[in-house]
Amino acid sequence: MKIRVNGLDADMQPETEKTVGEVLAAMESWLTGSGHRLSGLCIDGETANLETIEESFNREIDTIHTLDISTSSLTELIAESLFNIIEDVKTYEAASFEQRIPFAANWKESPTARLLAEQSPDLYDWAMNTFSGEGSGTQILHSLAEERLRELQNPINEMETAKPLVAEVCTRLEELPLDMQTGKDARAAETVNFFSGIAEKVFRIYSILKIEGFPVGDIKVENMAIKAYIDEFNAVLQELLTAYEQRDTVLVGDLAEYEMAPRLRNLHATLLDAIVQKRSLQ
């Protein structure tokens, strides 16, 4: 059996694999490591679709002459899923009450839902709640999908436009203990959510830049390797969230003012500096 990947002959032959599904499973670790995912399958000129995919996976390789495998980068597939969510929102908004009842169950089985459940579980949860009629409305889901799409399409611009948001949330973090002490619970909760959202945005853009080959994986933040810095950032963030839930005002204040605010400022500023330096060399 001849195997081609994206139209090119693959330097590989099945060893113990007996079916197409087993061949693809053997390739899974390689695909994942290369930042790609399976996006299409063609057996002897016949393209597999949702109705025939299970049958295709069960085909014995001894009965096949040519196996054509198509792959796409993970960022491409996520971008396609985000486009699909925006279209799904429009379809849901135009649907009748009766048509909306099975919408969430049907959407859950789609390729878009499966990919987002793996790569963007928070967005997947938003979509499931929205399509189940339990969320805050379709507009928020639509806005979230558009924001994530902008991050994928122009991560550098999104990192730059996040600068005033980072400055604002860091200022609010420094005010968080006073808000808690003076009974401004709504503002305190809003600050914690705001901070979590901005930190996650910076992390997402960092990951996108890294996947696209931008040299951010080798930079240091406060003389610490960026991966170690982010791991430590996440650990302190979890400590902050636990202290906030336990209403430990003193610990929340210390962590927010002396740990999280400066860490977020430094991480964002370091990434921006790396972007500016890279641009100056181009």
pLDDT tens per residue across span 48-80: 887 888 898 999 988 999 999 988 888 888 999
Cα separation, 139 vs 145, in Å, equals 10
Cα separation, 196 vs 263, in Å, equals 13
Q: Are residues 65 and 116 part of one domain?
A: no
pLDDT tens per residue across span 127-168: 999 999 987 789 999 999 999 999 999 998 999 999 999 999
Domains in the chain: how many in total? 3
CATH number of the domain to which 54 belongs: 3.10.20
Residue that finishes a domain, picked among 153, 173, 204: 153
Using alpha carbons, select from 52, 26, 22, 32 the residue that is nearest to residue 40: 52
R_g of the chain, CA atoms, integer Å = 23
Q: Are residues 201 and 190 part of one domain?
A: yes
Q: Are residues 239 and 186 part of one domain?
A: yes
pLDDT tens per residue across span 166-193: 999 999 999 998 898 898 989 999 999 9
Residue that finishes a domain, picked among 124, 153, 182: 153
Q: Of all residues in the chain, what percent carry a pLDDT higher than 70? A: 96
Contact between 19 and 61 under an 8 Å Cβ cutoff? The reply is: yes
Average pLDDT, stretch 243-257? 90
pLDDT given for residue 15 in this prediction:
76
Query: Which structural domain range is residue 167 located in?
Result: 155-281
Question: Residue 107: which pLDDT band, with cuts at 50, 70 and 90?
Answer: very high
CA torsion sign for 227, 281, 167, 189 is: negative
Specify the higher pLDDT residue, 37 or 103.
103
Average pLDDT, stretch 90-97? 95
pLDDT given for residue 269 in this prediction:
94
Q: Are residues 275 and 179 part of one domain?
A: yes
pLDDT given for residue 281 in this prediction:
60
pTM > 0.85: no
User: What is the pairing mode between strands 36-43 and 46-47?
Assistant: antiparallel
